[in-house]
Amino acid sequence: MLDIKFLRQNIDGVRAKMADRGQSLHFDLFLELEAKRRDILMAVETLRGERNEASKTIGELKKKKQDASQLMEKMADVSARIKEYDESLRTVEEELQAFVLTVPNIQHHSVVVGGGSEDNPVVRTWGEKPVFNFEAKQHFELGESLNILDFARGAKITGARFTVYRGAGAALERALFNFMLDLHTEAHGYTEVLTPFMVNRESMTGTGQLPKFAEDLFKIEGMEYYLIPTAEVPVTNIYRDEILEEDQLPIYHVAYSPCFRSEAGSYGKDTRGLIRQHQFNKVEMVKFTIPETSYDELEKLTANAEEVLKRLGIAYRTVSLCTGDLGFSSAKTYDVEAWLPGQNTYREISSCSNFEDFQARRAAIRFRRKDTGKVEFVHTLNGSGLAVGRTVVAILENYQQADGSVIIPEVLRPYMRGRKRIPA
């Protein structure tokens, strides 16, 4: 959410920025509502001031046993008017809020203007793509032939986009998120948290999933609880409605969680395999920083995500999302894309974003400056470190052998009781 005052005072600049993001919003309506809101507010506050004054007088009169009935009658009338104003104020504020919640974040000046993913500039590439003297298979072929991924049973138990992992497959998934958690806690300084996997409406609104993206979420029947689409939601909301001390910042958290996404609107996309599931595991990194350091922290965060792939020995490239591809709440996002030989393409495996104060304002996460004592919004960042299911995909495809077996990357072997290979 943008600051209403900022929006009011910089309306033309914001309009231009939104145009670059391919957004046209009813800013005129906003200005109208905002002016209306202030008019009503002034009127109602004046009346309230009057009433407070009169009530005091009434109290004094009564104490002196004097008649106050005339004034009381008058104030009954004033109270009725206040009530009317309150009602229209509430209406206007609701409309205003509804509008502001649909305005995306303003992109950082370094973000390239573009239409879609084809316009994302590549920031860097790392690693050697493996060369095979056979035709590389896709991960779902490998997974099925190795009897470690069972898509048919997943579909039977629940439905499409659900999978059963078996044996070495299940062990690999578990090894991966343990490895990732250990790496980020021990080498990168993150504090691990384990959160609820269902959250309430306020939390979803705080990070920006609601109200705009309700159709992407799974909601619990009969309650205002939602399954989390990412650990970003519960982890960011840990500090909702809190004022932190500057000394506490930056805060680094890393969390494992399953993620639940309805994938509405992606029918027919990535229907086979682990790429696009309704439920998948992810290790998520979340940072809370002071505003001055958030872009440095974004670089570090992205490097932390990349480090996972480096240690796993998987080639990747990092792109900076252009305006057309940038998420609603993000000011700047790097996507880390792992090389998938089976698909002969790079696929997103991590998305690292700086939300600046956009989420913090929605979620009221603030901090107190040490030198001035002033309260300000923190900056929030998050990034996958990494999407575990997609990492399994990358490992299967990159480490596949001519005989159909898959070598286990060395760093994972301690997490798999020394196992070196998933035999064909």
Partner RNA sequence: GGAGAGAUGGCUGAGUGGCCGAAAGCGAUCGCCUGCUAAGCGAUUGUACGCCCUUUAAAGGUGUACCGCGGGUUCGAAUCCCGCUCUCUCCGCCA
State the minimum distance, in angstroms, from the CB of residue 374 to RNA. 6
Determine phi and psi for 83, rounding to 5 degrees: -60, -40
Residues 336/348, Cβ–Cβ less than 8 Å? yes
Interface with RNA in residues 70-99 (CB under 7 A): 72, 75-76, 78-79, 83, 90
- b/e code 68-88 from CB counts within 10 Å (16+ = b): beeeeeebeeeeeebeebeee
State the minimum distance, in angstroms, from the CB of residue 224 to RNA. 10
Sole window of 19-27, 43-51, 125-133, 246-254 interacting with RNA (rule: CB under 7 A): 43-51
Total number of residues that touch RNA (CB under 7 A): 33
369 is a contact residue toward RNA (CB under 7 A)? no
Is the Cβ of residue 56 or residue 421 nearer to RNA in the bound state? 56
Residues 340/392, Cβ–Cβ less than 8 Å? no
Is the Cβ of residue 174 or residue 368 nearer to RNA in the bound state? 368
State the minimum distance, in angstroms, from the CB of residue 40 to RNA. 10
Distances from the Cα of 265 to the Cαs of 35, 102, 168, 225, 262, in angstroms? 38, 19, 33, 22, 9
Distance CA 34, CA 8 (A): 8
Interface with RNA in residues 45-64 (CB under 7 A): 45-46, 48-49, 51-56, 58-59, 62
Strand order in the sheet with 379-387: 122-126, 316-320, 332-340, 345-354, 379-387, 279-289, 251-260, 191-193
Sole window of 96-104, 270-278, 295-303, 368-376 interacting with RNA (rule: CB under 7 A): 368-376
DSSP assignment string, 167-199? THHHHHHHHHHHHHHHIIIIIS-PEEE---SEE
Pairing relation of β-strands 164-165 and 149-150?
Answer: antiparallel
State the minimum distance, in angstroms, from the CB of residue 291 to RNA. 14
State the minimum distance, in angstroms, from the CB of residue 69 to RNA. 9
Cα angle: 133, vertex 138, 140; to 5 degrees: 140
* Calculated CA dihedral for residues 358, 361, 362, 365, nearest 10 degrees: 110
Sole window of 42-50, 179-187, 205-213, 414-422 interacting with RNA (rule: CB under 7 A): 42-50
State the minimum distance, in angstroms, from the CB of residue 235 to RNA. 19
Sole window of 253-261, 263-271, 372-380, 407-415 interacting with RNA (rule: CB under 7 A): 372-380
Conformational region of residue 282, where left means phi above 0, alpha means psi within -120 to 50, and beta covers everything else: beta
State the minimum distance, in angstroms, from the CB of residue 203 to RNA. 13
CA neighbor of 21 nearest in space, from 165, 145, 143, 119: 119
Q: What would the x/- binding string for RNA be over residues 10 to 39, using CB under 7 A?
A: ----------------------------x-
Sign of CA dihedral 134, 139, 144, 149: positive
Is the Cβ of residue 26 or residue 62 nearer to RNA in the bound state? 62
Q: Under DSSP, is residue 139 helix (H, G, I), strand (E, B) or coil?
A: helix
State the minimum distance, in angstroms, from the CB of residue 71 to RNA. 7
Is the Cβ of residue 38 or residue 124 nearer to RNA in the bound state? 38
Q: Which residue carries 């905002």 as its tokens?
A: 34
Interface with RNA in residues 202-261 (CB under 7 A): 243
State the minimum distance, in angstroms, from the CB of residue 248 to RNA. 13
> Which of 17, 188, 300, 366 is the binder for RNA (CB under 7 A)?
366
> Which of 375, 402, 414, 421 is the binder for RNA (CB under 7 A)?
375
Give residue 344's identity as a one-letter amino acid code: N
Residues that bind RNA (CB under 7 A): 4-5, 9, 38, 41-42, 45-46, 48-49, 51-56, 58-59, 62, 72, 75-76, 78-79, 83, 90, 243, 366, 368, 372-375
